[in-house]
Amino acid sequence: MNQTVRERVLIIDFGGQYKQLIARRVRECGVFSEIVPHTVPVSKLAEMAPKGIILTGGPNSVYDPKSPSCARELFELGIPVLGICYGSQLMAERLGGEVKSAPVSEYGDTEVTVSGEESVLFRGIDRKIRAWMSHTDYISAVPEGFRITAFTGHCPAAAMEDASRKLYAVQFHPEVVHTEGGAGMIRNFVLGVCGCAGDWRMDSFADQAVAELREKIGDSHVILGLSGGVDSSVAAALLSRAIGKQLHCVFVDHGLMRKHEGDEVGRIFGPDGCFDLNFTRVDARERFFMQLMGESDPESKRKVIGSVFPQVFGDEARKVKGIVRYIAQGTIYPDVVESGDGGSGDVIKSHHNVGGLPIELVKELGFDETPIEPLRMLFKDEVRRVGLELGIPRELVYRQPFPGPGLAVRIVGEITPLKVRIVQEADYIFREELAKAGVDGDLGQYFAALTNMRSVGVMGDHRTYGLAVVLRAVLTSDFMTAEAAELPWPVLKKCMNRIINEVPGVNRVLYDVTSKPPGTIELE
């Protein structure tokens, strides 16, 4: 759904890893933001009538002919523009300045001196700040009409501006938490330079989305693959409010969920639950376990699950052939951005599947090839707020992130029902003890996983040869990077004691202190 908004800021993507973070920072200012690819023509950008434009960073050099660029006319629209990192260099190069390879590259935490005290961009910002740098090139000469407003020991133009044309640029990344006053700079640009009112709120999203869904769907029926995760659950709740029993939710229980979660999904969305919809729970555990037998490679396990799910879901979809017209899915904005579709309408994603079904089957069943995606413009925290507003229990809305293949990526090696039970029990104990100790609130993600390592142990008077469980808890703001959480030692010891005593087959508990990078948050 494309929510109607009165004012917006466009984020033009030049390949920067922090583009989603920029968009989130703008929305935190109470202004709707949208990421679009750098290939969108200037004429199209003008039609979208943004209040401001932000150019993202990127890994390229602006003087390389193959690097992404933009037309000079972008800066002549009369729309305020903020260039960040690569975006700042692109602004300089396009407007007649010079960009060269830096004698000294700057990475990470860097001291920046703000020299443009009267600059709107730096209003309320200290004269000396620590900022996050990541560049090998630098602006060696600013364009005519620009003045330097910040510098470092190695970067003479860490920030520049032409206030008369409302063009601003910073070599560092104000969107990351490491930059002191960074959020304030973005706020100054969005509210001070662009003149946005900052009155966009999520409060009205549900009502507006429901009205749009009713208008689009009419008296047609919709099928949704309900995983029990936050995104699909909120999509189901929103569609339930809009069309009621015209919604058919199919929950494929593959047996790889956390302890009790399958039953919780049935309790919330089933016949005695909170929502008016048709709910079907398919017990496909045996089917999944049979297909996973003998598979130990992580990618192979993902492929098996990815192939079996549409088979099971497809069997249920055939039962409503002739009744259902649309497939719905819980796509959210990060999914849209990562797929390459920035939401501009100029980049059209080629769907090999729709809502979990291969496109060939979608055509066979006569379903519409364009899925219903009511959450496609929302970030995860915004989805959660909508979920609470719709009456989904808080424990589901704030459920820990969970991978699509489920526990299959938290079990190293072959998947068996016994290993799944071990992970489910160990994970339940870990989450329970963290909650009891009150240390779970600030964690980005935490879970138990199972290694394929066996070791000798002693329990009572008996020698054991058991499996090793690994506990993982990380701190992260964006899931792009993560640090292992320093959990209290008494809490870890209690988890270890309970897991070894209560979970048969385990005789060793490890704690994973690997950061991301070099590791990933999940084990596989």
Q: How far is CA 291 from CA 301, 309, 415, in A?
A: 9, 11, 10
Nearest to 155 by CA among 176, 167, 170, 145: 170
Residues 6+ apart with CB under 8 A from 377: 1, 2, 3, 34, 333, 336, 343
φ, ψ at 244 (rounded to 5°): 55, -130
Helices (H) and strands (E) counted in the chain, each on its own, are 15, 19
Q: Strand 147-151 and strand 159-162: pairing?
A: antiparallel
Neighbours of 519 (CB within 10 A): 15
Q: How far apart are CA 61 and CA 135, in angstroms?
A: 10
Report the distance separating Cα 467 and Cα 364, nearest Å.
47
CB contact at 8 A, 30 and 200: yes
Active site residue 34: no
Per residue, the 3-state secondary structure of 217-257, as one string, reads HCCCEEEEECCCCHHHHHHHHHHHHHHHHHEEEEEEECCCC
CA dihedral 152, 154, 159, 164 (to 10 degrees): 110
Q: Residue 253 forms beta bridges with which residues?
A: 283
| 188, 123 Cβ separation under 8 angstroms | yes
Position of tokens 């679009």? 36
Distance of CA 390 to the CA centre of its chain: 21
Residue 85 catalytic? yes
- Beta strands (DSSP E) in 115-246 are 128-141, 147-151, 159-162, 167-170, 221-225
- Amino acid (one-letter) located at 260: H
- What's the CA gap between 268 and 279, in Å, rounded? 10
Task: Give residue 191's Cα distance to chain centre.
Answer: 25
Catalytic, out of 173, 196, 249, 425: 173
Q: Which of 161, 175, 382, 433 is catalytic?
A: 175
- Residue 412's nearest CA partner among 468, 454, 363, 450 is 450
Task: For residue 227, count other CB atoms closer than 10 A to its CB.
Answer: 23
Measure the CA–CA gap between 508 and 486, rounded to whole angstroms.
20
Whether the CB-CB separation of 83 and 91 falls below 8 Å is answered with yes
- Give bridge partners of residue 510 from the DSSP assignment: 470
User: For 30, left (φ over 0), alpha (ψ -120 to 50), or beta?
Assistant: left
Look up 196 and say whether it is catalytic. no
Cβ count within 10 A of residue 44:
13
Catalytic residue among 85, 155, 196, 249: 85
Strand partners, 161: 147, 168
Residues annotated catalytic, as ranges: 85, 173, 175
